[in-house]
Amino acid sequence: MLKNDLILRAARGEKTERTPVWLMRQAGRILPEYRAVRNSLSGFKELVETPELAAEVTIQPVDLLGVDAAIIFSDILVIPEAMGLAYEMVEKKGPHFPDTVKEASDIDGLKVADPADLGYVYEAIKITKKELDGRVPLIGFAGAPWTIFSYMIEGGGSKTFSQARRLLYSEPAMADRLLDMITESTIGYLKQQVQAGADMLQVFDSWAGVLPAKHYSRFSLKYISKICDAITEVPITVFAKGAWWALEEMNALNCRTVGLDWNMDPKEARKILPNKTLQGNLDPCALYGSNELIKEETKKMLAAYGDQPHIANLGHGVYPDTDPEKVKYFIHSVKELSAH
């Protein structure tokens, strides 16, 4: 039994005593305790692939920050790796794929990921669940197919993702073939996360905002929709960064919660998505401000959501140089201002 199920009730659209709060990237670089674990290893990937340590850093923010949910420490790029495209994490630069998908024949060498290849993630979930002992729910996650596709084509982050976007025009059938494989891989992976103990799931579409609306609908939402249709066991949240024009279409998704980035207006989103729980959307940079400012911005955000079910969060992941005391103050402010 969960001692604190606020976030699950909010996700289901039920009334809650106060607004639940957690942060994207809460398990990570803002915490000295995380850095201590990370610095004892060869790097990020070793941490992701060592279940006991992944569990430890997943639980740290619950103990240190007082959030209402843990999110399993992992990476969205474990999926392309399980499909046969290995990645490395370059310090201060981010992910890098030594090999990329350039033409249709490159897809022949890939496979739909076998959920069994990602056993270390499920093991980390099981250990985390046991150690959390029902204190808060555990969130599992995956990247949206379009975002994963972007990395597999570009080989890393990009300002424009022009190579990935170019394929949507020049080789749409090839794009669909790869997106289908990613989608199938992701469904199997998320279902296994639920079996291992994840209480809810989030799909991160980090590069949603680089696509024109017609392509977003055709090459991203179509595949996110398949994932939402396939996952019926637990509530699912879709967070599409930068895709404000897609909110209306998201009404049709079989997801309980829609995440908003800091450029989206909760009041507007509420009109467009009357039956969804909304999540977000404080600007992560607000946490560089004074405590008074943080409280004021939090108050405005909560007021914009009104009394409909919502989950407080930032509009993106917390930035690595944010003072953990400011993060704690944000969490405290949400709890204090929303209690009724």
Q: State the catalytic residues.
A: 25, 29, 38, 75, 151
Q: Report DSSP letters for 99-138, one per residue.
A: S---SHHHHHT--PPPGGGGHHHHHHHHHHHHHHTTSS-E
C-alpha distance from residue 101 to each of 60, 118, 175 (Å): 37, 22, 10
Distance in angstroms (rounded) separating the CA atoms of residues 13 and 132: 24
Altogether, the residues listed in the chain come to a count of 340
Task: Give the closest residue to 78 by CA, choosing from 30, 116, 105, 128.
Answer: 116
Q: Is the peptide bond before 291 cis (omega within 30 degrees of 0)?
A: no
Distance in angstroms (rounded) separating the CA atoms of residues 123 and 125: 5
Half-sphere exposure in the Cβ direction for 187 (13 Å, CA): 16
Distance in angstroms (rounded) separating the CA atoms of residues 9 and 20: 9
Q: Identify the H or E element spanning 143.
A: strand 138-143
Distance in angstroms (rounded) separating the CA atoms of residues 91 and 103: 29
For 67, list phi and psi in degrees, rounded to 5.
Answer: -75, 160
Burial-class residue 79 by CB neighbours within 10 Å (0-12, 13-18, 19+): buried
Torsion sign across C-alpha atoms 60, 63, 65, 67: positive
